[in-house]
Amino acid sequence: MLEIRPTCENCNKALSNDSDDAMICSFECTFCKDCVDTVLNNVCPNCGGGFEKRPTRPVNCLTGNCVEKYPLGTRVVHKPINKDKFQKIFETFKNIKPNKR
């Protein structure tokens, strides 16, 4: 089950459950859409993967699988991008489609 982290790892922007700006990689590294598009260029600085829009956790408890039973994550991971370290990862993966990395 997704943790649904509350902020962007790079800029620390708040990313609520229903945010259209929340993006994740397959390891659930969480960034805002602006950082993914303008800083990272769809390359995760932690794993080299690509990003997809993060799904939301239902608030309607009709099925029993909702935020009331499964609360959102509260762990803030704020580690701004080290541009020098990221450059090598970016150069390695920038021309490879995320599903081929």
* Main-chain phi, psi angles of 23, to 5 degrees: -125, 145
Q: Is 37 helix (H, G, I), strand (E, B) or coil?
A: helix
- At 78 the pLDDT is 97
Q: Hey, how many other C-beta atoms are within 10 angstroms of the C-beta on 25?
A: 22
Per domain, the residue ranges of the chain are 22-96
| pLDDT at residue number 70 | 96
pLDDT tens digits along 1-56: 999 999 999 999 999 999 999 999 999 999 999 999 999 999 999 999 999 999 99
Q: Give pTM, 2 decimals.
A: 0.93
- Spatial contact of 47 and 98, defined as CB atoms under 8 Å apart: no
State the pLDDT at residue 49. Answer: 96
Residue-level pLDDT at 73: 97
